[in-house]
Amino acid sequence: MAAKEKKDVKITVCDASQKMIDLARDKGIETSFDRAASMKPCPIGAVGSCCKHCAMGPCRVPAPKKEGEPQKTGICGATAETIAARNFARMVAAGSAAHSDHGRGVAEVFLLAAKGEIPGYGIKDVQKLMQVAMDFGIDVENMSVDEIAVKVGELCVAEFGRQHGEITFAKRAPLKRRELWRKHNMIPRGIDREIVELMHRTHIGVDQDYKNITTHAARAALGDGWGGAMIATELQDIMFGTPVPIKGNINLGVLKDDEVNIIVHGHEPLLSEMVVVACQDPEMLAMAKEKGANGINLAGMCCTANEILVRHGIPIAGNFLQQELAIMTGALDAMVVDVQCIMQAVKDVADNFHTEVITTSPKAMMEGARHIQFEEHDPINTAKQIVTAAIENFPNRSETTLNIPEQKEDMVVGFSHETINYLLGGTFRASYKPLNDNIIGGRIRGIAGVVGCNNPRGVHDEDHLTLIKELIKNDVIVLTTGCAAMACGKEGLLLPEAAGKFCGSGLAEICETVGIPPVLHLGACVDNSRILIAATAVVKEGGLGDDISELPAAGAAPGWMSEKAVAIGHYFVASGVYTLFGTTFPTLGSKKFTDYLFKGLEEEWGGKWDFEPDPIEMAKKMIAHIDARRKALGIDKARERVLMDMEMRRELDAV
Ligand code: NFS
Ligand code: SF4
């Protein structure tokens, strides 16, 4: 196969992954890396210039090759900017739908759990329950915890189908932001409603004003970030526990050659929480022994992994592009999937090994895979069936195809915004003040959120790591989630020791004093809502402006690929954040629309989009933005003094 000749092309910076890719190529097993090499993206579709919203088309409207040539429109007359904006908006709609449907699933299970109808599920974080209850205006003084939980569950479920008013969590945003949202009619009325309306507006012959489409796309995206995703995070925390710093391991080396290996892959923690319990069940362990295994080893992949890692320290086998590679180890007895980011190709790779692919969601089945449906009234029973299937498959493993790479790295994870509060402020006076003071004083130059996927169109993990190292070298503290967080874990960036190794002197000093890594793992992609809350807490603490857009902060997704990433990017922009994507950008076919996203929006919303494929340039742009915000806040001089201090100290040391 052609893929063999490409062996010397760099495709990953992860040694374990490289080993498995080489193995797959030697065995003639195709992976996404090979398909990405042989299938070039369609140059018209990649930049948003193809419309297939009706059967008069598909219409292609690429930018004219020569100056003076007319710009084509679609058969209906839709302009290139309308087409690009509609395509972009549909990505936002799909991404928001994915997160929000996850959130709805959590809310429904939460409600059942609150009513005491799910054995094993209950309320773990009462304090957070109270906080959320107060956001909803529930009379917490006169109700029992159980009654409050039921009410919170009902109100959260209702947020999705709400038709009027404003979604509840929008009021968590800084006042100035809310006023701006109101001015532009951007506060979501209900989570589902805005997504449905966005699909309507992008149907043939409806909204033909790219700016108007962009604004409504923001309304739908805000319904994700401050709605569906935030509900998912909050209710998961209440039900399963709010993460606190915990140790974990990451990379394919977490798989064990003498134990039953199960990977839970996908996004929702609802079932995997119980798989964690089932794997520790004495009956299950005895069954595993009987089959000749020394135990049951559970690991995660993608965001399901992040969910059970931050709450239980369950190891992570890898990020998005490692899902096929985990099967290549020959050591995987079951790959259990729920929803989102599951490549259909896992089944094809699994057909070469004994690995059983088990689907669990009625929303996400796969031809040829075994389906064990998640029974939400009795998750422990479903979990035990799954673990039993894996154990029974263990004897089918072949020693000759066993190839577990040794790579695994330690990490410290679980930095919810509450934890950041405690760690930096102290247990007795939890507060964001020390963080703000250090930003104002210049030891911390600014805050960056670096999140998102892997994309085989670039080198696996490389851009994340290059960008993040450059940021922390320049004293920018990094908050991370999703597959970006996993790339950091594999590189050792999620360890407190990373501070001394990679950081500028200001940030290193803070990390060493507090004992935190310079890159803080906040969880799964739905937990980007934690970043919004942390940013808001920084604003509310004072001294750094009145709005998120005034903070010395920026966001990036250098290796994005999913529609969810576009939804996240758009709610960050609409929340006032300068947000950059790498790899590719889906609107470049229309200069007019792209200019609006990259320049025009800032005037209206305070945040804007940008595209930068080079990670070092991306870091420079983020730092330049951070410095501009520092200057606007009048705190640029403080940083110069800090740097002088450090320089002087070094000189003194040298004497
Ligand atoms: Ni996020 Fe999680 Fe990863 Fe991208 Fe997919 S796993 S929700 S979408 S690929 S970061
Ligand atoms: Fe073509 Fe317009 Fe139909 Fe799109 S909606 S396919 S641009 S005719």
**Domains parsed from the chain with CATH numbers:** 3-45 (no CATH), 252-401 (3.40.50.2030), 409-633 (3.40.50.2030)
- C-alpha of residue 197 to centroid of ligand 2, in Å: 19
Question: What's this model's pTM, rounded to 2 decimal places?
Answer: 0.96
**Cβ(453) – ligand 1 distance below 6 Å:** yes
For 214, phi then psi, to 5°, come to -60, -40
Report CA(631)–ligand 2 centroid distance (Å).
Answer: 47
Strands (E) in 394-509, as ranges, are 409-413, 446-450, 476-481
State the amino acid at position 69 in one-letter form: E
If one counts every other C-beta atom within 10 angstroms of the C-beta of residue 106, the result is 27
Residue 369 contacts by C-beta under 8 Å, 6 or more apart in sequence? 337, 347, 357, 358, 359
Q: How far is CA 69 from CA 45, 66, 362, 453, 634, in A?
A: 21, 6, 51, 38, 48
Task: Give pLDDT, residue 3.
Answer: 44
pLDDT recorded at residue 649: 59
Cα–ligand 1 centroid distance for 95 (angstroms): 11
The pLDDT of residue 644? 65
203 pocket-lining for ligand 2 (C-beta < 6 Å): no
Q: Is the CB of 483 under 6 A from ligand 1?
A: yes
* Edge-to-edge order in the sheet of strand 446-450: 519-523, 476-481, 446-450, 553-557, 578-581, 608-611
- Would you state the pLDDT for residue 580? 98
Q: What residues contact residue 566 under an 8 Å CB cut-off, 6+ apart?
A: 88, 91, 92, 95, 560, 586
Instruction: For residue 57, report the distance from its CA to the centre of ligand 2, in Å.
Output: 5
Which residue stretches of 575-614 are H helix? 591-595, 601-605
Distance from Cα 56 to the centre of ligand 2, integer Å:
6
pLDDT-flagged residues of the chain (< 70) = 1-8, 425-429, 644-655
Question: What's the confidence (pLDDT) of residue 423?
Answer: 78
The one-letter amino acid at 204:
I
Q: State whether the Cα torsion 494-500-501-503 is positive or negative.
A: positive
Pocket test for ligand 1, best of 263, 564, 566, 568 (most atoms within 8 A of CB): 564
User: What atom in ligand 2 is closest to the CA of residue 204?
Assistant: 5
| Percent of residues in the chain assigned helix, strand, coil, to nearest 5 | 55, 10, 35
pLDDT score for 4: 46
Largest CA distance in the chain: 78
Left (φ > 0), alpha (ψ -120 to 50) or beta: where does 480 sit? beta
Angle, in degrees to the nearest 10, between helices 417-425 and 528-541: 40
pLDDT of amino acid 642: 74
Q: Is the CB of 302 under 6 A from ligand 1?
A: yes
Distance of CA 84 from the midpoint of ligand 2 (Å)? 12
Q: Say how far apart CA 516 and CA 359 lie, in whole Å.
A: 38
Tell me how far CA of residue 71 lies from CA of 61, 62, 78, 240, 595, in angstroms: 7, 8, 11, 54, 17
Q: Which amino acid is at 86?
A: R
- Take atom 7 of ligand 1 and give the residue whose Cα is closest: 525
Give yes or no for residue 204 CB within 6 A of ligand 2: yes
